[in-house]
Amino acid sequence: MSRPARQRAAVLYAISATCAVVGALLWVRGHDRMAQPPRSYGAYLAADGYTPSTWRVWSSALPQDRLGLYLVVFGILLAVGTRVFLARRG
């Protein structure tokens, strides 16, 4: 495998890992929003647990947990595709 191919593979793996991590965070955030409210005041998260946040990552037509799941799947598919591409080239 040549040096440019290794660099491209590293970039593609970094992109796939970033997509998977951001997707996992969005998926967890989306599931936290749909969960039952905490029973005690101390159980709230400090960031946005006191008032419901109106900040959205995506449009209201696509929930955050579904967007997160799509990003995780895309990250996995990109990593697998990169691996297959490198195996064919090598």
Per-residue pLDDT at 22 exceeds 90:
yes
pLDDT digits (tens, 9 = 90+) for 31-48: 766 555 555 555 555 444
- ∠ at Cα 24 (22, 30), nearest 5°? 100
Average pLDDT, the chain: 78
Residue corresponding to tokens 């209201």: 60
CA dihedral 66, 53, 45, 29 (to 10 degrees): 10
Model-level pTM?
0.70
Q: Which pLDDT belongs to residue 48? A: 46
Tokens of 63: 């929930």
In the chain, where are the structural domains located?
A: 1-35+61-89
* C-alpha R_g of the chain: 18
Neighbours of 23 (CB within 10 A): 21
pLDDT band at 50 (very low <50, low <70, confident <90, very high): very low
Tokens of 36: 């039952």
